[in-house]
Amino acid sequence: MKLKTILLFGAPGCGKGTQGKALGTLPGYFHCSCGEVFRSLRLDSDLGHVFVRYSSQGQLVPDEPTVQLWREFIQNSQRAGRYEPASDQLLLDGIPRNVRQAELLRDTLDVRAIVHLTSPDPGRFVERLQRRALRENRLDDAKLEVICDRLATYERETRPVLEFYGLEVLHTVDATQTPIRVLQDILAILVTL
Ligand code: ADP
């Protein structure tokens, strides 16, 4: 059985994580942030090393270990009773992050909607990322150079995922609104699904 999935999509700093956390508190929705799964790794593990090496340069971790780690996280969440695929919608944030990952997950995910959080100028997310880096002590967003690399990686590798799934599932939300307005717009989409 494929997993009923909604993708939260958008450039770094667009507010996917904030919205995903809020939506994940609703009954029937399970939020999974791939970035958080990586950050929960032990830094002295093999994959922890790989994660630090790539993320500190604003780059994506290679696809196979990423998808493998994600599958383990989902299986553990099921075993622990936090995620019930038969009844829950999976709210995915940060994966698939390129077309190759979308292909690897083709038989696993039934993508029913993509919520694309957009801004006419993703540069305006930079300040948010820098504030978060200070607050959460994040290596990847501490330097302006790395933020720019992350935004470039998004444009080059992640944006094409939208074409992979096609326009029928695409919904666009203005990410420059206040968080509560963004949430309101996303909920209006989710209730129609
Ligand atoms: P957040 O959404 O909290 O900003 P990210 O999703 O940007 O966190 O993840 C931080 C880093 O983790 C990324 O820059 C990348 O190196 C790695 N990462 C997260 N998800 C993936 C993925 N699906 N594929 C490859 N690398 C990933």
What CATH number is associated with residue 46? Answer: 3.40.50.300
32 CA to centre of ligand 1 in angstroms? 12
**Range with lowest mean pLDDT among 67-81, 109-123, 135-149, 155-169:** 135-149
Q: Does residue 120 surpass a pLDDT of 80? A: yes
34 CA to centre of ligand 1 in angstroms? 6
Name the residue of 31, 41, 55 to mutate for ligand 1: max ligand atoms within 8 A of Cβ: 55
Look at residue 138 in the predicted model and tell me its pLDDT. 75
Could you give the strand order of the β-sheet that contains 89-93, starting from the edge strand earlier in sequence? 29-33, 89-93, 3-9, 109-118, 170-174
HSE value, Cβ hemisphere, 13 Å, CA-based, for 155:
8
Answer whether 34's CB lies under 8 Å from 66's CB: yes
Percent of the chain with pLDDT over 90: 82
Structural domain span for residue 102: 3-191
Look at residue 46 in the predicted model and tell me its pLDDT. 94
Give the three-state DSSP class for 24: coil
Radius of gyration of the chain (CA): 16
Look at residue 132 in the predicted model and tell me its pLDDT. 84
Q: Give the residue carrying structure tokens 């074409």.
A: 163
Question: Cα angle at 90 between 89 and 94, to 5 degrees?
Answer: 150
| Nearest Cα residue to atom 8 of ligand 1 | 35
Please give the DSSP secondary-structure letter assigned to residue 139: S
Q: Does residue 183 surpass a pLDDT of 80? A: yes
pTM of the predicted protein model:
0.93
Q: Does residue 123 surpass a pLDDT of 80? A: no
Question: For the chain, what is the domain count?
Answer: 1
Of 181, 147, 145, 183, the C-alpha closest to 8 is 183
Ligand 1 atom with minimal separation from the 34 CA: 20
> What is the rounded CA–CA span in Å between residue 21 and residue 156?
27
Give the model confidence (pLDDT) of 77-115 as tens digits: 999 999 999 999 999 999 999 999 999 999 999 999 999
